[in-house]
Amino acid sequence: MKRTIIILGVILILLMSSPSFNCNGTEGVTSSIIYVDADGTSDYTRIQDAIDYSSEGDTIYVFNGTYKENIIVDKSITLTGEDKNSTIIDGSGHRNVIDIVSNTVTINGFTIQNSSLDGVGFGIHLYRADHCIIYDNYVENNFEGMQIGYSNDNMIFQNNISYNHNKA
């Protein structure tokens, strides 16, 4: 069973990287790769700045490091961390760590931690976000790991959602 899930995940990634795969209506639009590195050696040092600069269909590649920020993904982009064990988005106890408010967003390769613990903080919050893919992340030490509201047709797999405050 586990082997089947891994094989399906690999097939999905290969399909998504194929030039003929187009799920966000951006046929003919050239996408870019934007790099984020906390040490200042890449395009940006903050993930939110890279998102703000990005265009529909872009990929934001985040190098290992701890990024103390709360991000809002409001474009159809791919957000990829170098290694989920050492590419950390830390909400510093404020709000949701990642708010996804756009369709066709992919997020993978992160540790997502430390949302607000006052009863309204989520590691990942999808709101009116359809056709998103969230995989291969650690979501931990938040009030709640994940919330999905008014969203359809999302794929969420191979995430470790644990050690969150509200276990209900």
The 10s digit of each residue's pLDDT in 86-119 is 999 999 999 999 999 999 999 999 999 999 988 7
Domains for the chain: give ranges and CATH numbers: 32-162 (2.160.20.10)
Q: What is the pLDDT of residue 166?
A: 74
Residue 107 near residue 27 (C-beta atoms within 8 A): no
Amino acid at site 6: I
Burial of 119 (0-12, 13-18, 19+ CB in 10 A): exposed
16 pLDDT more than 80: no
Q: What is the pLDDT of residue 11?
A: 54
Per-residue pLDDT of 40-83, as tens digits, reads 999 999 999 999 999 999 999 999 999 999 999 999 999 999 99
Q: Mean pLDDT over all residues of the chain?
A: 88
Higher pLDDT pick, 12 / 125: 125
Q: φ, ψ for residue 8 (rounded to 5)?
A: -65, -40
- What is the percent of the chain with per-residue pLDDT over 70, rounded to a whole number? 82
CA distances from 159 to 7, 13, 39, 40, 139 (A): 16, 15, 27, 29, 7
Residue 80 near residue 59 (C-beta atoms within 8 A): yes
18 pLDDT more than 80: no
Q: What is the pLDDT of residue 34?
A: 98
Q: How many other C-beta atoms can be found within 10 angstroms of the C-beta atom of residue 168? A: 3
